[in-house]
Amino acid sequence: MTELQPICQSCDKKFVKWDEIVIFRGIAYHKDCLHEVPGVSSYFDKSLQQEFLGTGEDADFDGDAYEHFEELEEEAQDYDAE
């Protein structure tokens, strides 16, 4: 099994320290990249397929990225600004 990388499956952006993330079945997502149904904490992919990922209780992890991954940057680097 490969090691989980600190990259969102949905948007392909690296996580930074304070990102809120959810991990389902070993796949990490930004919470903002998912659609959450209020009241039942069901998460769906925001893509056209709207794939059901699971509930908050099914999540492998739900919290800030720094709690799961080590050595994350404080904020996203803007490489286009150079």
Domain residue extents for the chain: 1-69
Instruction: Report pLDDT for 2.
Output: 58
Instruction: Report pLDDT for 10.
Output: 92
On whether the CB atoms of residues 10 and 30 are closer than 8 A, the answer is yes
Instruction: Report pLDDT for 1.
Output: 47
**The length of the chain, given as a count of residues:** 82
* Residue stretches of the chain with pLDDT short of 50: 1, 81-82
Q: 50: part of which helix (H) or strand (E)?
A: none
Q: What is the pTM of this model?
A: 0.81
